[in-house]
Amino acid sequence: MPSQGDGGGGFGASQGPQGSPGSGGGGDAPRVNSLTPTTIKMLHDAESTADDANAFQIDGKQIAQMTIVGSIVSKTEKSTNVSLVIDDSTGQIEVVFWTTGDENEAVAAKRATWVEGGYVKVMGSLRTFAGRRNVAATHIRTVEDFNQVTFHTLAVFETHAHNTMPRIDDAGQKAAAPSGMSISSTGGGGGGAMGAAYTGPPQFTDVQRAVFMALKSCSDSGTGLSVGDISSALKTVHQSVQVKQAIDFMANEGHIYPTIDDTHFALCE
């Protein structure tokens, strides 16, 4: 699966002044230095702080820079910026990329690849302007391999699981869940930031529920996910042997089924 590093590989020029109108104004308070993969629904559901309308939290964690991946619904070019409406199947949001007016030909050529119906990966900051949320983009890269979309979805799930699932301490006991915990080990929990109201049968263990949610996040892919992809997505909270045992159990019980081969699985829905 291709590397998803955000340095190079076709990003546009650096973002213009953050005080530009589409960015929601300047003078922001210092932010946590982090890069968070998200869905558009998570951005719309993010909680803003009382003292800064442009400071947001997802799963109880403050976000600074974030990434989204989706298709371009519309594109509007102006003398000072390019505005894209992005759809990732969880929602839509406007992405504003500010231009300096002195871009070279290479940068102009990259901007020309941002076409309606094409997929892009966006890195930027969530802002509020005129009562509406948008993304002030610092980098936009055209997606040339759909595996990048799957990789981003897995990264979103891994980050969400890391921030919300209970930890296991050295004694093997379940530690307290972080702030924003939305998944329980017995009841299926609430929707959480991923917007998944149903997280599997109540008898599922934590690892089985995690596998269920990983597969649900890619339910439209047609081929499902490989055992390796699922294990990689859950490596911060579950051991690979636990994940494989959960997959075997869920397949035998008819909750999931193999797709293109015996290592790729999808939910039975």
Q: What percent of the chain has pLDDT over 70?
A: 71
Domains contained in the chain, CATH given: 21-144 (2.40.50.140), 148-267 (1.10.10.10)
Residue of 124 and 221 predicted with greater confidence: 124
pLDDT tens column, 204-226: 888 888 888 888 877 776 778 88
Residue of 246 and 167 predicted with greater confidence: 246
User: What's the pLDDT at 167?
Assistant: 53
Mean pLDDT, all residues of the chain? 75
CA distance 70 to 174: 36
Contacts of 60 (CB under 8 A, 6+ apart): 163, 178, 179, 180
Q: Using 50, 70 and 90 to split pLDDT, how confident is the model at 82?
A: very high
User: What's the pLDDT at 52?
Assistant: 67
Residue 162 corresponds to which tokens in the numbers above?
């890391």
Say whether pTM exceeds 0.75.
Answer: no
CA distance 80 to 154: 35
Alpha carbons within 13 angstroms on the beta-carbon side of residue 149 total 19
pLDDT tens column, 137-173: 988 999 988 888 888 888 888 888 877 766 555 445 5
Which stretches of the chain are assigned E, i.e. beta strand?
Answer: 35-37, 47-49, 52-58, 61-63, 65-77, 81-87, 92-98, 119-129, 132-142, 225-226, 256-258, 264-267
The answer to whether the beta carbons of residues 59 and 164 sit under 8 Å apart is yes
pLDDT tens column, 170-186: 445 544 444 433 333 33
Q: Using 50, 70 and 90 to split pLDDT, how confident is the model at 195?
A: very low
